[in-house]
Chains A and B, each alone.
Chain A
Amino acid sequence: NAGVMQNPRHLVRRRGQEARLRCSPMKGHSHVYWYRQLPEEGLKFMVYLQKENIIDESGMPKERFSAEFPKEGPSILRIQQVVRGDSAAYFCASSGDDGGSGNTIYFGEGSWLTVV
């Protein structure tokens, strides 16, 4: 899973600031997924993107959260006006052309957001 690169690994933000988390999928992968792991909770699906398209955002909070996967560059998960409840580990995963149905998807090491 070292092929999925996330940065920053750790991020501290004050309440009201913006957090931007970046994810570069494995080489050759065009499907990106974001998951959130709240303290003492399981991982929850947030959003599924392909290049320039949001395929499924059913797990995204309705406000303050957005995601993109531009034609060039990494996928970005953006959290505006962060609150303490946004403190969590955010994991990115990627899969190949089959969308992951037939093969494992690969997770990054995560970005740990702390809101103070």
Chain B
Amino acid sequence: KQEVTQIPAALSVPEGENLVLNCSFTDSAIYNLQWFRQDPGKGLTSLLLIQSSQREQTSGRLNASLDKSSGRSTLYIAASQPGDSATYLCAVTLYGGKLTFGTGTRLTIIP
């Protein structure tokens, strides 16, 4: 059974700092891995998707890496801003749209 763990559960950093969020999964037989952002009371916004054959993806200040063999992914956020405050969710795709989610990292950027 696939399990996804995200560490830390919560993180507070001053504005402008670079930071790394971690995600680990137990079964390397995945189609892809996605990072989502969830604001309070809102739905999920997909940030980055990494196919199982890829090592990393970048979008603006965000960079996500994937090491399938070790079951790890990281989300790197450069030059953090208060608007980055949200919960970040990591999810692995077993097939199609059947995702297994981690419990998330609640990020607070301190102005």
Tally of A-B Cβ pairs under 8 angstroms: 70
**Separation in Å of the B4 CB from the closest CB of chain A?**
8
Known: A1-B45, A107-B44, A109-B42. A101 touches B32 (CB 8 A): yes
Interchain CB contact (< 8 A) of A45 among B42, B45, B99, B102: B99
Q: Interface 1/0s, chain B 67-91, versus A by CB < 8 A?
A: 0000000000000000000000101
**Contact present for A45 and B43 (CB under 8 Å):** no
Chain A residues contacting B103 (CB-CB under 8 Å) are 41-42
B97 contacts the other chain (CB 8 A): yes
On chain B, the number of residues with a Cβ less than 8 Å from chain A's Cβ atoms is 26
Residue of A nearest to B44 (CB): A107
A105 contacts the other chain (CB 8 A): yes
Known: A42-B103, A43-B101, A101-B32. A48 touches B96 (CB 8 A): yes
- Once the chains are docked, how many angstroms separate the CA of A44 from the CA of B3? 11
Chain A residues contacting B91 (CB-CB under 8 Å) are 43
Chain B residues contacting A69 (CB-CB under 8 Å) are none
Chain B residues contacting A105 (CB-CB under 8 Å) are 46, 97, 99
**Contact present for B102 and A100 (CB under 8 Å):** no
Chain B residues contacting A33 (CB-CB under 8 Å) are 97-98
- 6 residue pairs from A and B, CB less than 8 Å apart: A94-B97, A98-B96, A99-B95, A100-B93, A101-B31, A110-B42
